[in-house]
Amino acid sequence: METIEEKEKAIEEEFLMFEDWTDRYQRIIEIGEENPGLAQELKTDDRLVPGCISRVWLMSEYKNGKLYFYADSDAAITKGLITLLLKVLSGHRPQEILNARLDFIDRIGLRTHLSPSRSNGLANMIKKIKKEAESYAQAA
């Protein structure tokens, strides 16, 4: 299985192939479209990521010492952003997720090209994922 760092590097290489940010945004939307999302009955208020302008639902499952995430959003770019995070972090041990620096976000220029509200939403998605990982790490 790939490490978090290897997954980050693969995303970085993919995004750096696009010189134009319109193309990068399009790719983010396409990545979101690859995410099957959540069934309507799983989109509950307790799964909402706080502090996001768009609605983002996140749920996790702990199996065999690893944490798996599932998410959905009502906005295309936001769904792509959460899916990018899940591609990197899902399927790893809680402590690995907590230790992840997620440098790829800055290396591909994502944080500087997002609107302040989307950038804040991205930070809140990361915070919620790490909070989930922390609760499982403490229980382990």
Q: What is the pLDDT along the chain (140 residues), one digit of tens a residue?
A: 899 999 999 999 999 999 899 999 999 999 999 999 999 999 999 999 998 889 999 999 999 999 999 999 999 999 999 999 999 999 999 999 999 999 999 999 888 899 888 999 999 999 999 999 999 998 76
Residue 139, pLDDT score: 74
The residue behind tokens 């690893």 is 66
Return the active site residues: 52
Coil, strand or helix at 17: coil
The whole-angstrom separation of Cα 40 and Cα 138 is 30
Q: List the domain boundaries for the chain.
A: 4-139
For 31, left (φ over 0), alpha (ψ -120 to 50), or beta? alpha
**Residue 21, class by beta-carbon neighbours within 10 Å (0-12 exposed, 13-18 middle, 19+ buried)?**
exposed
CATH 3.10.180.10 assigned to domain 4-139? The reply is: no
Residue 140, pLDDT score: 63
Helices 76-89 and 116-139, packing angle to 10 deg: 30
User: pTM of the full predicted structure?
Assistant: 0.95
